[in-house]
Structure formats: C-alpha cells, structure tokens
Amino acid sequence: MSTTILGIESTAHTAGVGIITSEGTILSNQRSVYIPEEGEGIHPREAANHHSEELPKLFKKALDEANLSSRDISLVSYARGPGLGPCLRTGATAARAFAYSNDIPLLGVNHCVAHLEIGLLEGAKDPVLLYLSGANTQVIAYAAGRYRVFGETIDIGIGNGLDKFAREAGMGFPGGPKLEKIAEGDELINLPYSVKGMDLAFSGLMTAAKQKLESGYSLGQLAYSVQETAFAMSCEVSERALAHTGKTELVLGGGVACNSRLREMAMTMASERGVKCFVPEKALCVDNGVMVAWLGHQMMNADYQITEEDNVVNQRYRTDMVEVTWR
Amino acid sequence: MKFRGAEAIVETVEWNGQIVVSKVRNKRGYRHPSLEKRLVVERLRSESRIMERLLSRGISVPALYSVNISDNSLLMEYIDGSTLEKALREKDFKNHLVKTAELLTMIHSCNVVHGDPTTSNFLVTDKIHVIDFGLSSISEDDEDRASDLRVFLESLDSHHSEINGRDIFLSAYTKWAKSKPVLEALKVLELRGRYNLMRG
C-alpha cells in the first residue's frame, strides 16, 4: 500500500517541508532560506526565528501542493541533527506539534545520512558519497552496518569557507553561488592545496585567498582559483575513498554540489576511474524536507524500532553514530 | 606484477637488464593543468627525498634508481618478499611484529612519518622492508607519529584479529626512548569519536 511521508528540515539556514510517497514520488518540496544581514554570518537565534515563522506556512503550502490533508500523512520525519541547536529545536517542535495533533508516528533522523539516502533514489546501490555543504564536508560510504566517514574536513566546512571568502569580498549570503558566477579566466593563482590522506583542510586556502585579494589580485580570477583548488581537493579524497573501498558509484550531495564546475570535475574523475557518477537535481542536493522524509520512510519500512532517544535533537549527531538497520 | 592504486600505477619493468619497480602517478584530468603539475612535482620530490633520507640512515627501503619529473615516474629496487600481511599468518608472527615496530621507531627517529603504514606496506625477506612513501612527510610531531601507529594497529585489527598483535607491537615500539609522548598522543587519538566509531 502506498503511504505518504512528510519530512521537516531545519538544521541551519533552510526551513523545509517535503512530502514523498513510499514509491519515491516527490509530491512537494517547499523551502525557505534565512538570509543573514549584509556582511554577517548565520545567527542561530535569528535563523530559528525565521524557521518558526516560516514552517507553518511551508506545511500548508506542501500539503496544498500535494493535494493532501494532514490525515493522509502516515509518518512525520524530521532532522534531529547535526545542526544549530535553536534551529533544530524549532524544527523538532514543529514536527511534534504536527505529529501529535494529528496522531501520526514521529521519527527524528540524521541529516547527513538523509543527504546520502536521497542519492540512492537516483539509482545508486552502494556508493561513495561526496557530501559538500556549508558546515559538512565528508566522504561517506557504507561498511559493516554504518555509514562510515572515510575522510572529512579537519577545520571548516567547504561551503562555510566559500561563504566567508565571499563575505570578505563584499558579497552577501550565500557566497558560493556568487563566487561561481564571477569566477573567470583560466589562469590559476597558486593557493594552498591541503589533503592529508583522506582528510581535507580549507581554512588556510581561504585565508590565503583573502590575503591575495587584499594585495590586489582580481576577484574573478581568485574566485576561479579558489573553486579549482577546493574542488580538486574534494575530488581527490573521494577518489581515494573509491579506491580504498573498491566501490564503483559516486553520489554528490550537499549545497556545494549544485556548483557546475564541481559537478564537471566529479564526472571527469568518475569517468577516468570507470565509476558511475550520480548527481541529484539541485533541489535535492541542498537542504530539503524531501530527503528527511525519504530516510524516515526507509527506516520505518525496515521495521525500525523508534526509541525515546530518536526524538531528542542532537547538535553533534555524527553520520557514523547511526546504526544502519534498513539495508 | 601490476597494481593500480588511487594515486599511481605500480608495476615491475625491465631497466638496464634488471627487474625494477616503476611507480607512475596517474594524471588527473579534473585538475587544472598547472595545479596538476605543481602537485606532481611536490609529491614526487617529497617521496624521493624521504626515500633518500631513510636510505642514507641505513633503513631498509627500496633503493631509488631514477626520478623523472617529465613523465611523473619513479624507478626503484624490486624487493622479492612477501607482504607482512601474509607473513603474519605464519608461525613467526611475533618476531615480525617486533621487527616492524623497531623499523617504525627508526623511521620516526629520522623525523619521517610514513602516513600509510598498513601491513601491506611492509615486505618480509630475511629482514623487514618498508615501501610506499606516497603519503609520507617530514614531521617530528607526536600526533603524526601516533597516527602512524593507529593506521598500523587498525590494519592489524581488520586483517589479523586472530592474533593479539597490538600488545606485542606496542611494547616493542615502547623501547624507543622518545616513544612515551607518542603513546600518550595515541590514547587521545583513539578516544576521538570518529576513530572509535570507525572500529564499530
């Protein structure tokens, strides 16, 4: 029997409500993004205020678009971490209110795992996930009962790094897409390339870029060079993870995976290695409620037993803390 | 013999009438050509310098015959031995573990960290040799050294869970005068969530 699952996302900038059927048909994907004040980064409380104002509207919009009433929903799934405390609590509160008032089961899931699982909807079976977002930069693959982190950033997330550089250059949030637009030329400015085994570091790269900007290099050429360097590092570590695990599929996820140059590089790397590359559509790469709903469905479909702990938010809910019981 | 890794193709070839090992780093089409060139030179240089440093201190690494930046290749001595991974399935495994720990202390005392000392990167003949310096670096940082120990112990754990190699290996490593802070750093490293969970 087909069921309908509603998912709530609120880990950082994005408030999202998505609805998907148990067959994987997306009925609605509503999102609203908190934009910080000019020249500032994310303020957790302000973002949470944004989410608490937007989420009720998003619920209504999603149900309207899907042409459903709240009684038609069989499971409410929300991202219980990792993320910013106030934002997570706002999403959890909205999820509880909606689930309890309509007598629907409620499940809190891991945000990073949701990014990976939505990639499986594209047809990948057992991939390596290159997950590049604001705060998260990880290379993840399944091994012995868990999604394991084979490599990750040892300082800042790639997206936060890009945003920060863009902010220093006078561009507002989100900075990554703005850098992509102004990136120009084909000449590379030398910047630190920091790969340690399967781990990455971005802060030195972004600081060097900022210094070069101050010393008079052109912003367009720097944006180009930052992208070339940071994305090559990301592709290299995912290549290592592919070689190490022997897996033959690569999935991209996270907001930075919307970048066309990154997509192009990942596809080149995959074809050189003879592996398949799956790139979800942009609306599913960025933070969204659909992926949260889909993961909730996967878990419940495999008779996952909800515990009390599953409905408590966890700011530091790591990918590899999740015991994968549904595959 | 031919082996295609993430980083390079390693194979035996004939050179001046003898069998040697050639290591050619793969070209990455996704990387900007000038970045590619810079990395190739940096990595080739670092790998060969580290091998030279260890050779000159009398540590058993393959002798280096040729470093060629234009075609991105290294030629080195072919060591006809079995990997430690295989050798640890033999009776003599305790002795091998002690010798490997001693070898690692010698590498560390040259201020080199190997970066990837798994049981497949040691070869056993009448003695133990260490190979593959693709991820090596110059460092006297205790945490870097501890990370070498962790990589080795992890590969023992995943391939040789039947022998209790950890204690034998660590007690041999402890004989090195500078080992104390390294073992302390190892404790901290192993307590970090990721590595704990990686064991899972």
Which of A239, A315, A322, A323 has the highest number of chain B CBs within 10 A, making it the mutation to test binding with B?
A239
Q: Tell me: the pLDDT tens digits for A205-226?
A: 999 999 999 999 999 999 999 9
Does residue B39 sit at the A interface (CB-CB below 8 Å)?
yes
Residue from A265, A275, A315, A322 to probe the interface with B (highest B Cβ count within 10 Å): A265
Whole-number average pLDDT of chain A: 94
Give the other-Cβ count within 10 Å of B66's Cβ: 13
Q: Which of A188, A197, A264 sits opposite B34 (nearest CB)?
A: A188
Whether A269 has its CB under 8 Å from any CB of chain B: the answer is yes
| Opening angle at CA A224, ends A236 and A167, nearest 5 | 105
Please report how many Cα atoms fall inside a 13 Å half-sphere around the Cα of residue B160, on the Cβ side.
23
Contact criterion met (CB < 8 Å) for A228 and B116? no
Q: Mean pLDDT in each 10-residue stretch from start to end of chain B (200 residues)?
A: 82 95 92 94 94 96 94 94 91 93 98 93 96 93 93 82 86 97 91 51
Average pLDDT of the residues in A299-318: 92
Catalytically annotated residue among B71, B80, B92, B116: B116
Residue B148: active-site member: no
Would you call A154 an interface residue with chain B, using a CB distance cutoff of 8 Å?
A: no
DSSP-assigned beta bridge partners for residue B159 = none
Residue A108 pLDDT exceeds 60: yes
Query: Chain A to chain B, count of Cβ pairs less than 8 Å apart?
Result: 65
- Residues B37 and B70: their CA atoms lie apart, in Å, by 9
Would strands B112-113 and B137-138 be described as parallel, antiparallel, or unpaired?
Answer: antiparallel
CA torsion sign, A254 to A258 to A262 to A267? Answer: positive
Tokens standing for A74?
């069989």
With a threshold of 0.85, tell me whether the complex ipTM lies above it.
yes
Find out whether A164 and A209 touch, Cβ atoms under 8 Å.
no
Look up residue B168 and give its two tokens. Answer: 């034998």
Q: Is B199 on the interface with A (CB under 8 A)?
A: no
Alpha carbon distance A150, A141 (integer Å): 7
* Cβ atoms of residues A114 and A291 within 8 Å: yes
**What domains lie within chain B, and their CATH numbers?**
2-77 (3.30.200.20), 82-199 (1.10.510.10)
B181 lies within 8 A of chain A by CB: no
Does the beta-carbon distance from B38 to A190 stay under 8 Å?
yes
Average pLDDT over residues A313-325: 91
Mean pLDDT of A116-134: 93
Say what the pLDDT of residue B7 is. 79
Inter-residue contact A200 to A150 (CB < 8 Å)? no
What distance in Å separates the CA atoms of residue A257 and residue A231, rounded to the nearest whole number?
Answer: 10
If you average pLDDT over residues A5-13, what whole number do you get? 97
Give the model's pLDDT for residue B197.
Answer: 47
What is the predicted pLDDT for the residue at B164?
79
End-to-end CA distance of chain A: 20
DSSP secondary structure letter of residue A109 = E
Mean pLDDT for A103-112 is 96
* pLDDT at res. B151: 86
Count the Cβ atoms, other than its own, within 10 Å of residue B56. 9
Task: Give A49-108 as a 3 state SS string.
Answer: HHHHHHHHHHHHHHHHHHCCCHHHCCEEEEEEECCCHHHHHHHHHHHHHHHHHHCCCEEE
- Per-residue pLDDT, B192: 66
Interatomic CA distance for residues B96 and B70, integer angstroms: 39
Tell me how crowded residue A222 is: count the other CB atoms within 10 A of its CB.
23
In chain A, the domains with their CATH numbers are: 4-116+287-321 (3.30.420.40), 124-279 (3.30.420.40)
Contacts of A184 in chain B (CB under 8 A): none
- Report which DSSP code applies to A125: S
DSSP structural state of residue A303: T
- A188·B115 Cβ contact <8 A: no
d(CA B153, CA B166): 6
Residue A13: pLDDT band with limits 50, 70, 90: very high
Rounded alpha-carbon distances, angstroms, from residue A25 to A4, A70, A293? 9, 18, 11
Tell me the CB-side half-sphere exposure of residue A75, using CA atoms within 13 A.
28
Q: What is the three-class DSSP state of A273?
A: helix
